[in-house]
């Protein structure tokens, strides 16, 4: 699977750990930055990730910042993106099953590496349930429906 990952400076270590782990698992990972721990603004990287999802350059995205809140808000500014902020695997799975989330957001200051990997695994292995959820998900990208 083609996965884009981006963070701010607060989550650069978690980003590097997850990116390498995903590559080891056989995924094609696009690291959208940043490349160093120098201070950056999370909206810039959230927008980069959203663009990769909206353009089809990536099937799924992982957005990381200190809390996960700011970068998830930035990603969700793009109508093609459905970013879900999670801290445990059940929420990650439900974000896919019920909401067809295409971006997983997490906070590096709140979520350890092992829990983050469990969330990513649930996110990548859960399919969208469709059915009664499909119309609701359609309204997320087209509010006038």
Give percent of the chain with pLDDT exceeding 90.
89
Please give the pLDDT value at position 50. 98
Q: Residue 102: is its pLDDT beyond 80?
A: yes
Is 91 marked as binding a ligand? no
Task: For the chain, list the domains and their CATH numbers.
Answer: 2-141 (3.40.1400.10)
Q: Which residue is catalytic, options 27, 65, 133, 142?
A: 65
pLDDT confidence tier of residue 130, bands split at 50, 70 and 90: confident
- Segment 29-46 mean pLDDT: 97
Q: Which residue is catalytic, options 27, 81, 98, 119?
A: 98
Residue 39 contacts residue 7 (beta carbons within 8 Å): no
DSSP per residue, 84-95: EE-SSHHHHHHH
Give catalytic status of residue 133 as yes or no. no
Please give the pLDDT value at position 141. 77
- Segment 90-110 mean pLDDT: 98
pLDDT confidence tier of residue 142, bands split at 50, 70 and 90: confident
Return the closest-CA partner of residue 30 out of 3, 69, 62: 3
């Amino acid at each position: 699977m083609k996965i884009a990952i981006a963070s701010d400076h607060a989550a650069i270590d978690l980003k590097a750990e997850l990116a390498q782990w995903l590559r080891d698992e056989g995924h094609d990972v696009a690291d959208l930055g940043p490349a160093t721990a120098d201070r950056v603004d999370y909206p810039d990287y959230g927008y980069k990730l959203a663009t990769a999802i909206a353009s089809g350059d990536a099937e799924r995205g992982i957005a990381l910042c200190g809390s996960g809140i700011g970068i998830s808000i930035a990603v969700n500014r793009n109508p093609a993106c459905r970013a879900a902020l999670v801290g445990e695997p059940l929420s990650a799975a439900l974000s896919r099953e019920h909401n067809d989330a295409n971006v997983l957001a997490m906070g590096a200051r709140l979520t350890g590496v092992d829990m983050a990997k469990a969330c990513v695994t649930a996110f990548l292995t859960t399919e969208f349930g469709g059915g009664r959820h499909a119309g609701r998900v359609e309204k997320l990208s087209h509010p006038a429906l």
